[in-house]
Amino acid sequence: MNKYDFIDTELARRDTANQHRRLRNVTPLANACCEVDGRQMINFSSNDYLGLSQHSKLQTGAANFSSQYGSGSTASRLICGSLDCFSDIENKLAALKQVESILIFNSGFQANVSIIPALTNSDTLILSDSLNHNSIIQGISLSGCDKIIYDHNDLDHLAKSLEANNHRERKLIVTESVFSMDGDQTDIDRLVAIAQEFNAILMVDEAHATGVLGHHGMGLTAGKQVDITVGTFGKAFGSFGAYIASSEKIRDYLINCCSGFVYTTALPPAILGAIDAALELIPNMDDERRTLLDNASYLRNMLQQLGYNTGNSTTQIIPVVLGDESSTLAMSTKLEQAGIIATPIRPPTVPEGESRIRLALSAAHSREQIDTLIDVFRP
């Protein structure tokens, strides 16, 4: 018996199932392009929705903060890593998002995985949308709580489940606002009403809405009675990290009781410089947001005219649901041959029979690039 047998077995299984994932080196270029294996490709897979990862102001902001504060923050924020630029950014973002407070986290994954256990105990019932992101699923699993997975975006199912469990003292509803693999949206107003009716805490992950949707790009929960919003800086913000928008009381509780905040070195100054620069730009990027959503409806309409199933997407994320894994892999190869990066998404990331090409648009894409993409999908 070799101690690594389980690894050999799993990798062999993945080879046989055509599911062995590998990393590929990528060099970013301007205009939503990148170089892969010496070849220039158009990127339709990144979450750089506003093209900010290549913006000179973010790069200068990162360099400036790095020279001012140093290359690392040296400790967790509770020890001595709470540089003044954290609270500057948190205060600016809180005003824009119309919330009492913001708390910066190191990543969206870290936030979801640690906030859910922090908010729950063995008496808590968690109600989670069936298409929630893996970081939410891991957070629920770590909490060890009872859970009800309600049908995707079926808020009647959610309300009925709460009604049947109204005797539970603590209830936590968790959902995304824009779903990462489907690009559809949930109804925040109805969720708020349901959470209030059943006295449940409402936590909404805005990873894919932040920077893109809502007033000034501040997401779908801005100005709404949502208890906890998780937003990320690694997607439309073109940088890295995450934030929690909440009441001052919840922020104070998380600073004290959330392991993913307490026991980790704070984000490095360079990242904060990029976030700070993005925060200056994003509220004034309505033109880019309009271009992005126009590009998305153009692409969706063209794909639908060609007979493709784009699910319930209404955003910059457009799934082309092809069903079985082999046609999805074949389409991905065809796209790659045409100079396009468009990642195939297969189970377990999406349910069995719902393999797809996940297209993610950027305001930096030109109509010409989108037409090149559409041509590959023509039969």
Ligand X SMILES: Cc1ncc(COP(=O)(O)O)c(C=O)c1O
Binding stretches for ligand X (CB under 6 A): 107-109, 112, 133, 135, 176, 180, 205, 207, 232, 234, 242
Dihedral over Cα of 173, 179, 182, 183: its sign: positive
Residue with smaller CB distance to ligand X, 165 or 349: 349
User: Is 301 noted as a catalytic residue in this protein?
Assistant: no
Q: How many Cβ atoms are within 10 Å of 167's Cβ, its own excluded?
A: 6
Helix (H, G, I), strand (E, B) or coil at 71: coil
Shortest distance in whole angstroms from residue 72 CB to ligand X: 19
Q: Confirm if 135 and 108 have CB atoms less than 8 A apart.
A: yes
Given the residues 43, 45, 47, 143, the one annotated as active site: 47
Written as six digits, the tokens of 290 are: 């309009």
Helix (H, G, I), strand (E, B) or coil at 55: coil
User: Is 25 noted as a catalytic residue in this protein?
Assistant: no
Q: Buried b vs exposed e over 248-281: b needs ≥16 C-beta within 10 Å?
A: eebbeebeeebebbbebebbbbbbbbbbbbbbeb
Given the residues 48, 176, 206, 227, the one annotated as active site: 176
Shortest distance in whole angstroms from residue 111 CB to ligand X: 8
CA distance 262 to 255: 7
Residue with smaller CB distance to ligand X, 176 or 354: 176
DSSP of 290-354: HHHHHHHHHHHHHHHHTT-B-TT--SSEEEEEEESHHHHHHHHHHHHHTTEE--EE-TTTS-TT-
User: Is 176 noted as a catalytic residue in this protein?
Assistant: yes
CA distance 232 to 314: 20
CA distance 287 to 217: 11
CA atoms within 13 A on the CB side of 243: 30
Given the residues 97, 171, 224, 235, the one annotated as active site: 235
Residue with smaller CB distance to ligand X, 178 or 320: 178
Given the residues 205, 206, 227, 276, the one annotated as active site: 205
CA distance 326 to 320: 14
Residue with smaller CB distance to ligand X, 73 or 232: 232
Shortest distance in whole angstroms from residue 124 CB to ligand X: 21
Shortest distance in whole angstroms from residue 65 CB to ligand X: 19
Residue with smaller CB distance to ligand X, 107 or 246: 107
First-residue to last-residue Cα distance in the chain? 51
CA distance 212 to 296: 12
Residue with smaller CB distance to ligand X, 93 or 302: 93
Shortest distance in whole angstroms from residue 255 CB to ligand X: 19
Given the residues 55, 97, 133, 365, the one annotated as active site: 133
**Helices marked H in the chain:** 5-16, 56-69, 84-97, 108-119, 134-143, 155-164, 188-197, 248-257, 259-262, 269-281, 286-305, 325-337, 367-377
Shortest distance in whole angstroms from residue 34 CB to ligand X: 18
Shortest distance in whole angstroms from residue 178 CB to ligand X: 8
CA atoms within 13 A on the CB side of 115: 35
Given the residues 147, 208, 224, 365, the one annotated as active site: 208
The closest residue (CB) to ligand X is: 108
User: Is 152 noted as a catalytic residue in this protein?
Assistant: no
Shortest distance in whole angstroms from residue 259 CB to ligand X: 16
Given the residues 180, 239, 295, 313, the one annotated as active site: 180
Residue with smaller CB distance to ligand X, 205 or 354: 205
Residue with smaller CB distance to ligand X, 105 or 377: 105
Q: Confirm if 266 and 255 have CB atoms less than 8 A apart.
A: no
Q: Which residues participate in catalysis according to the annotation?
A: 47, 133, 176, 180, 205, 208, 235
